[in-house]
Amino acid sequence: MAEAEKSVRPKSSKVWELFTLNQSKNSVTQRGKRYLDLKPDQWSLLEELSTILKPFECVTVFMSGQKYATISAIPPLVKGLLKSTQSSAYESAPLRAFQLTAVQQLQERWKRETAFSDRASNTVILATVLDPRFRKLKLLSIDEVQHVQNKLQTMALQERRKMDVQQHGSCSVTSTYTTATESTLLATLIDSLLGSDGEEEDRANKDEDVHTQVRNEVLTYFGKISLAKEENPLLWWKANNDRYPMLARLAKSYLCIPATSTPSERLFSAAGNIASKKRATLSQEHVDMLTFLHCNAKCLNKGSE
- List Cα–Cα distances, 87 to 78, 83, 99, 233, 246, in angstroms: 14, 6, 10, 30, 41
- CA 268 to mean position of chain CA atoms: 17
One domain, residues 94 and 30: no
**14 lies in which domain range?**
2-36
Q: What is the pLDDT of residue 97?
A: 92
One domain, residues 63 and 89: yes
Of 77, 146, 89, 81, nearest to 118 (Cα)?
146
One domain, residues 137 and 17: no
One domain, residues 145 and 120: yes
Could you say which DSSP state residue 92 is in? S
Helix (H, G, I), strand (E, B) or coil at 11: coil
One domain, residues 208 and 248: yes
- Cβ distance 140 to 116 under 8 Å? yes
CA 24 – CA 32 distance, rounded (Å): 9
**Sequence-distant contacts of 166-175: CB under 8 A, at least 24 apart:** none
Average pLDDT of span 119-137? 93
One domain, residues 71 and 169: yes
Whether residue 239 has pLDDT greater than 90: yes
- Cβ distance 49 to 92 under 8 Å? no
- Cβ distance 48 to 41 under 8 Å? no
One domain, residues 138 and 242: yes
Q: How many domains is the chain partitioned into structurally?
A: 3
Q: What is the pLDDT of residue 9?
A: 47
Of 259, 279, 272, nearest to 61 (Cα)?
259
- Side-chain-side CA neighbours of 167 within 13 Å: the count stands at 6
Whether residue 109 has pLDDT greater than 60: yes
Q: What is the pLDDT of residue 200?
A: 59
Q: What is the pLDDT of residue 177?
A: 46
What are the DSSP E strand ranges found in the chain? none
The whole-model pTM stands at 0.68
* pLDDT tens-place string over residues 18-52: 555 555 555 555 555 555 578 888 888 888 888 88
The residue with greater pLDDT, 49 or 3, is 49
Helix (H, G, I), strand (E, B) or coil at 234: helix
